[in-house]
C-alpha cells in the first residue's frame, strides 16, 4: 500500500510540474485530436450518459443511497469509511484545482464546463467513488467471482468516464491521468487507514 501511495503520488507530482510545458500541451492536443476524431451525434449522446456517472449529482445520490444501505445493515465502520473517503476526496480535488488553476482546453468543446481543469474532478471523483464501492465488496460480498466482477465493472466505469471528459473537450488527457494518479494515491491512504483501524479494533 505504501508503494502504491508513493508511486502514484510521484506520478501526480511529475505531471503537475509539466502541465504548463509546451511538450505536454502538444501531447495533450494530439490525444484530444485523436479521440475527438470519432465525434458523432449518436456517439455524443452515449458519451454524455457515461460522463454523468462521474458527476457530482450522481455520486452524491449514489453515496447517500449506499450509505443508507450500509447503516441499515449496521455496517457503521464501512459507512464512515465510505462517506469520509468520498467527502474528503471531493474537497481535495477542489483544493488542487484552486492551487494549479489550469484553464480548460478550448480546441473543440462539445459541452461547456466551468471551473479549472487540473486535475479532472470527474476522473478523480469516479476513481475514488467506484474504487471505494469495489472495496466495500471485499467486506460484504462472499463470492470471489462477484468480487472480481465488481472490480472489473468499477475499472470500466472509471476508464470510460475519463475518456468521456477528453471526448467532450472539457479536459486535457493529463488532467485525467493526474486525476487518476492522485485518486489512486488518496484511495490507498484511506484504505490503509481503514485497515489499520480494523487491525486495532481486533486487539
Q: What is the CA radius of gyration of the chain?
A: 18
Please state the pTM of the whole predicted model.
Answer: 0.90
Residues with a known catalytic role: 122, 171
**Alpha-carbon span 105 to 128, nearest angstrom:** 24
How many domains does one find in the chain?
1
pLDDT, tens digit, 9 for 90 and up, residues 133-185:
999 988 888 888 888 888 899 999 999 999 999 988 888 899 999 999 999 99
The single-letter DSSP state of residue 185 is H
pLDDT category, 110, cuts 50, 70, 90?
low
**Beta-carbon contacts of residue 156 (< 8 Å; ≥ 6 apart):** none
**pLDDT averaged over every residue in the chain:** 89
**Alpha-carbon span 90 to 82, nearest angstrom:** 12
Residue 26: predicted pLDDT: 82
SS3 (DSSP) at 119: coil
Do residues 136 and 82 make contact, with C-beta atoms less than 8 angstroms apart?
Answer: yes
The whole-number average pLDDT for the span 46-50 is 92
Do residues 118 and 173 make contact, with C-beta atoms less than 8 angstroms apart?
Answer: no
Residue 109: predicted pLDDT: 67
SS3 (DSSP) at 114: coil
**Helix or strand holding residue 13 (H, E):** helix 2-18
Task: Write out the residue range of the structural domain in which residue 126 sits.
Answer: 2-202
Query: What is the length of the chain?
Result: 203
Amino acid at each position: 500500500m505504501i508503494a502504491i501511495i508513493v508511486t502514484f503520488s510521484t506520478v501526480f507530482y511529475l505531471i503537475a510540474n509539466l502541465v504548463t510545458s509546451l511538450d505536454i500541451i502538444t501531447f495533450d492536443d494530439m490525444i484530444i485530436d485523436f479521440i475527438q476524431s470519432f465525434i458523432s451525434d449518436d456517439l455524443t449522446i452515449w458519451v454524455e450518459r457515461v460522463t454523468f456517472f462521474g458527476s457530482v449529482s450522481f455520486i452524491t445520490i449514489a453515496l447517500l443511497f449506499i450509505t443508507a444501505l450500509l447503516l441499515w445493515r449496521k455496517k457503521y465502520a464501512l459507512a464512515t469509511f465510505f462517506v469520509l473517503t468520498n467527502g474528503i476526496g471531493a474537497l481535495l480535488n477542489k483544493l488542487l484545482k484552486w492551487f494549479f488553476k489550469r484553464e480548460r482546453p478550448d480546441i473543440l468543446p462539445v459541452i461547456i464546463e466551468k471551473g479549472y481543469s487540473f486535475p479532472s474532478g470527474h476522473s478523480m471523483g469516479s476513481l475514488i467513488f467506484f474504487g471505494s464501492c469495489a472495496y466495500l465488496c471485499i467486506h460484504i460480498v462472499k463470492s470471489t467471482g462477484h468480487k472480481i466482477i465488481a472490480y472489473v465493472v468499477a475499472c470500466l466505469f472509471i476508464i470510460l468516464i475519463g475518456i468521456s471528459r477528453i471526448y467532450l473537450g472539457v479536459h486535457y488527457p493529463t488532467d485525467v491521468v493526474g486525476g487518476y494518479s492522485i485518486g489512486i494515491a488518496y484511495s490507498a491512504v484511506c484504505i490503509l487507514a481503514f485497515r489499520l483501524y480494523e487491525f486495532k479494533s481486533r486487539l
